[in-house]
Amino acid sequence: MWVLIMQDTDQTVTIGATVPTGFELTAAEEVQEKLGATARVSKNRGRIYFDITTDKLIEVHHLKSLDNLFVVVKEYEDYQFKATKEEVLLDWQELATKLPWTNALEVWKLNNSIRKKKGRRKRPNPTKSDQCENVSAKCPDTVPSDPEELLENCETLEVTENQADVSPNLENDSEEDKPSEPQDQDSELMPLKFRVTCSRAGDKHCFTSNDAARDFGGAVQEFFQWKADMTKFDVEVLLNIHNNEVVVGIALTVESLHRRNITHFGPTTLRSTLAYGMLRLCKPQVSDVIVDPMCGTGAIPLEGAMEWQNSFFIAGDNNGTAVSRSVNNIKHILKKTQDGGRVGSRKKNWELYPLCLREMARVCKPGTGKAALLTQDKKCFTKALLQMGGLWKKLHTVWVNVGGLHAGVFVLKRTNVIFGISSGDKTEPHTATEAQKENLGDASLSV
């Protein structure tokens, strides 16, 4: 039985990440900027590695350039493979017993505790590239990465040598295909369920990806006494082979992070990580206007608006369906941010409303400027309006129903009272100071 015991002190671990091919340096820049860690690019394109302390693990999940994350168990820069498959099999068996698993498994457990969402892997509308990521040893063919399609399509797919996804001694399972929620080994005595996924590149190997995943998976199973399960696994062991470079890791993501924002996909939807990388190459600055005239489902403007909030993003498309998908993706983001507590509260309105009304008064032209404001918090808004010292005059109110909520649209007109530094600085036009007159001119230009 394998029991995991978490250490109290933060330890330094190596994190591996897959990134859009060609954007390795862009991802490395983000890691340096946000984590203060130096990332190195793998010889196998599309991967970077960087060292962090475990207290920064949650911050890694918030990086915008990274697709999938894993903690490195061991990395071999020049692994000497044997000449025959039989000898390689013996090597895999020996390797599994001498790898430093403990720290990586502790990180895996910590990662499970901080993940916001656990449970089944969701793979809506898998792309062609998604469908080439996993291969099962149960059948010798390439299978889609969606577990729900795996058993149905196993007999009709073509063979590839690039990826292998193997659970040794796998038994047929008629239940719904999904990874199980990771077990807490401090409270559960049941053995963990696992699978091995192999990614291999290079033409000088005497074995296939299936061979490597099957043989190494068998050795891992024998060493830990874990239960092999290709679809409802707790632990996914990764075996990445690129020529003579071998990296063994444990996956930290259930699904790719590039699915974080897009819920409505189209035929040409960009990965969020790719959209972010494109924007980062442009280095948006404060007040920059960024236009995406062929926005599709809105991946680029969505990523931009969330990361560079001081820039302005405009998006459009000549396809009505694409525009509808963009709108739905925007709604998803708004709902997600509101669920996260950014929508405000009645308590905060007592501070927010006076500040907003005062700022609106500053930028609107005295005498002619108007404002229309929608709020359900009528009491707070009315009292905030009374605190403005005559900066605004209420013209009329329209009562409306918004999703079952009784709210009011308040139409205000800017008075001739000159806006000052604070509410106590307001004076009538004929007594304005020179500084206030200059401020008046600035406010007039803002309308």
Instruction: Find tokens 């793998």 and name the residue.
Output: 42
pLDDT score of 305 more than 70: yes
Query: Could you read off the pLDDT of 328-385 as tens digits, one per residue?
Result: 888 888 877 666 546 556 778 888 889 999 988 998 889 999 988 888 888 899 999 9
Structure confidence at residue 270 (pLDDT): 81
- Buried b / exposed e across 229-255, counting CB within 10 Å, b at 16+? bbbbbbbbbbbbbbbebbbbbbbbbbb
Structure confidence at residue 33 (pLDDT): 95
What's the chain's average pLDDT? Answer: 77
| Highest averaged pLDDT of the listed ranges 116-120, 125-129, 311-315, 374-378 | 311-315
Structure confidence at residue 179 (pLDDT): 56
pLDDT score of 181 more than 60: no
Choice among 85-99, 257-271, 390-404 with the minimum mean pLDDT: 257-271
Choice among 246-255, 295-304, 333-342, 374-383 with the minimum mean pLDDT: 333-342
Give the separation between CA 214 and CA 225, rounded to whole angstroms.
15
Structure confidence at residue 269 (pLDDT): 76
pLDDT score of 183 more than 50: yes
Split at pLDDT 50, 70, 90, the class of 403 is low
The more confidently predicted of residues 399 and 9 is 399
Structure confidence at residue 68 (pLDDT): 94
What is the pTM assigned to this prediction? 0.61
Structure confidence at residue 260 (pLDDT): 77
pLDDT score of 126 more than 50: no
Structure confidence at residue 129 (pLDDT): 39
Choice among 195-199, 283-287, 397-401, 439-443 with the minimum mean pLDDT: 439-443
Query: Could you read off the pLDDT of 130-152 as tens digits, one per residue?
Result: 333 333 333 333 333 333 332 33
Query: What percent of the chain has pLDDT above 90?
Result: 34
DSSP-derived secondary structure for 107-155: HHHHHHHH-S--SSPP--S--TTGGGSEEBTTSSSEE-S-HHHHHHHTT
Choice among 20-29, 182-191, 380-389 with the minimum mean pLDDT: 182-191
The more confidently predicted of residues 423 and 140 is 423
pLDDT score of 117 more than 90: no
Choice among 254-258, 297-301, 359-363, 428-432 with the minimum mean pLDDT: 428-432
Contact yes or no for 19/27 (Cβ under 8 A): yes
Structure confidence at residue 339 (pLDDT): 60
* Residue 170: closest CA among 233, 83, 95: 233
Three-class secondary structure of residue 164 per DSSP: strand
Element (H, E) at 52: strand 47-53
**Max Cα-Cα span within the chain:** 97
DSSP-derived secondary structure for 273-329: HHHHHHHHHH---TT-EEEETT-TTTHHHHHHHHH-TTSEEEE--S-HHHHHHHHHH
Structure confidence at residue 268 (pLDDT): 66
